[in-house]
A = this chain, B = another copy of it.
Amino acid sequence: MMTKPSLPQGTRDFQPETLRKRSYIINTIKNQFELYGFAPLETPAMENIETLLGKYGDEGDKLIFKILNNGLDHPSKRESSGRAFQNILAGKNEKEITSRALRYDLTIPFARFVATNHQQLPMPFRRYQVQPVWRADRPQKGRYREFYQCDADIAGTTSLLADAELALLYRDVFRALNLQVSIRINNRKILAALSAMAAKNGATSNVITVIDKLDKIGIQAVKQELLENGIDEKTVIAIDSYLSISGNNRNKLDALKMFFREDNTGIEGIIEIEKILQLVTDEGTFVMDPTLARGLDYYTGTIYEVQAQGVKIGSIGGGGRYDDLTGLFGVKGIPGVGISFGIDRIYDVMEELKLFPDSLAVSTQVLFFNLGDDESRYAFGIMNECRKQGIAAELFYDKVKLDKQFKYADKKRIPFVAIIGSKEMESGECKIKELSTGEEVTIKTNQLYEFLNK
């Protein structure tokens, strides 16, 4: 049987070089998560279908990958026409055909987990989770059907210390990755106050969705849309002045206080941001941004978004505070706050800015050439000693022409090759060639480990 193999649309193999870079990003993030007291969690790829359906809106529901219940397409019952398969499905309702689905994000599985386990967990519960999710989206550049999400959430507190901490976590992760970023912060209460003001003055739908488009379509188009939304001109001018608030964080907060001076909800949001900014004290990295909206997510307080500097790419992280994590699963009273890292985009930015350490390209330090049966048996022992000393080493398996062995070292970016022929076996020596310089030295084999460990 011969099948020309291919990959499902929107999925990827990760080859060694890419994977090492991805692991570098993920491990750097995990290290910071651990420093911040977050504990790891992993949930299964598949959830019961009722756990997922109805949580992501109609559009989301359509993008959930559903798994066929097992036994429905028993190969022995299959006919090439497919008719038998239809007969098997005939008379079954949906639940009998699919009762499980692939996870669509990490938040709902986390909510499901907390709803089930909150009585045993140390509360407030800080967890991080780095796992793939699946969405039946139309694949396009930068959008995949399988991709990793990387989330940190704190469940079970309304304390703004948590919100401040997550802002610092963003800062420390991107510092550790050596990536210049701007961390934008806003508060949904401020936007809610603005939205209420618009609603009072003719808005037929939530103005947050319009404001969310500002980056993409610009202020003129936003104003146009607001007018089309039924908002009176005076209010549109007010919203324009809101969106134009500028200066440093202090200036902006003062201007906002004036703007919302008679609105309790607005003032509450402003005070929350003030408290967070007092705790993080790092003007420059943290930017209070009244125009930040984060779509129509379930956020109710602080919202964050991270932009990389020096590249044109969307946000590489986002998150916020939500009032109710587990209510959907029948457990009330668990608020939370969480942030997310866009691994694929962080990867692209770091690639573009050449921020990956060179050392990631190298894994095997030395390749022992294969010069024949006796020589390779001898080299095999020395290679094993290298590994014992913590030096990643390989021996070429087959006695082939040297240029083929050189090519292999080159393809794997192995910096050193070790050549041991019968002469070297006798003298207890070893020829070492550094591939980048072409330099060659002959040393005693017992000095080899020290030489390579440098």
A62 near B70: Cβ-Cβ < 8 Å: yes
From residue A246, how far is it (CB to closest CB) to chain B in Å?
29
Complex interface: stretch among A36-44, A254-262, A309-317? A36-44
Within 8 A of B (CB), among A221-253: none
B37 near A392: Cβ-Cβ < 8 Å: yes
CB nearest to A128 among chain B residues: B16
Complex interface: chain B residues within 8 A of A91 (CB): 86
Complex interface: chain B residues within 8 A of A46 (CB): 8, 11, 65, 134, 146
Complex interface: stretch among A47-55, A185-193, A347-355, A419-427? A47-55
Chain copies in the assembled complex: 2
A6 within 8 A of B: yes
Complex interface: chain B residues within 8 A of A161 (CB): 376, 380, 395, 397
Q: How far is the CA of A121 from the CA of B3 in the complex (A)?
A: 21
A5 within 8 A of B: yes
Within 8 A of B (CB), among A328-362: 328-330
The 8 Å CB contact of A75, one of B58, B113, B387, is B58
Complex interface: chain B residues within 8 A of A121 (CB): 411
From residue A401, how far is it (CB to closest CB) to chain B in Å?
14
Complex interface: stretch among A95-103, A194-202, A266-274, A432-440? A95-103
Q: How far is the CA of A338 from the CA of B7 in the complex (A)?
A: 23
CB nearest to A12 among chain B residues: B44
A390 within 8 A of B: yes
The 8 Å CB contact of A7, one of B47, B89, B363, is B47
A66 near B73: Cβ-Cβ < 8 Å: yes
A408 within 8 A of B: yes
Given contacts A93-B82, A95-B82, contact A8 B172 (CB under 8 A): no
Interface size class of A (residues with CB under 8 A): 35 or more
Complex interface: chain B residues within 8 A of A157 (CB): 397-398
From residue A423, how far is it (CB to closest CB) to chain B in Å?
22
A403 within 8 A of B: no
Q: How far is the CA of A4 from the CA of B6 in the complex (A)?
A: 40
Q: How far is the CA of A146 from the CA of B393 in the complex (A)?
A: 34
Q: How far is the CA of A112 from the CA of B4 in the complex (A)?
A: 9
B19 near A42: Cβ-Cβ < 8 Å: yes
Q: How far is the CA of A391 from the CA of B32 in the complex (A)?
A: 10
Given contacts A3-B50, A65-B70, A161-B397, contact A85 B97 (CB under 8 A): yes
Complex interface: chain B residues within 8 A of A122 (CB): 408, 411-412
Q: How far is the CA of A86 from the CA of B394 in the complex (A)?
A: 58
A303 within 8 A of B: no
CB nearest to A160 among chain B residues: B397
Complex interface: chain B residues within 8 A of A94 (CB): 73, 78, 82, 85
Complex interface: chain B residues within 8 A of A12 (CB): 44
From residue A17, how far is it (CB to closest CB) to chain B in Å?
8
A-B CB contact pairs (8 Å), 16 listed: A1-B54, A5-B115, A6-B116, A7-B48, A8-B44, A11-B44, A11-B45, A36-B392, A37-B393, A45-B134, A53-B75, A65-B70, A82-B94, A82-B95, A121-B411, A161-B380
Task: A82-B96, A161-B380 given; name 16 further pairs at CB < 8 Å.
Answer: A3-B328, A3-B329, A6-B116, A7-B44, A11-B46, A13-B41, A13-B43, A16-B39, A34-B392, A44-B146, A46-B134, A58-B75, A61-B75, A121-B411, A126-B394, A278-B377
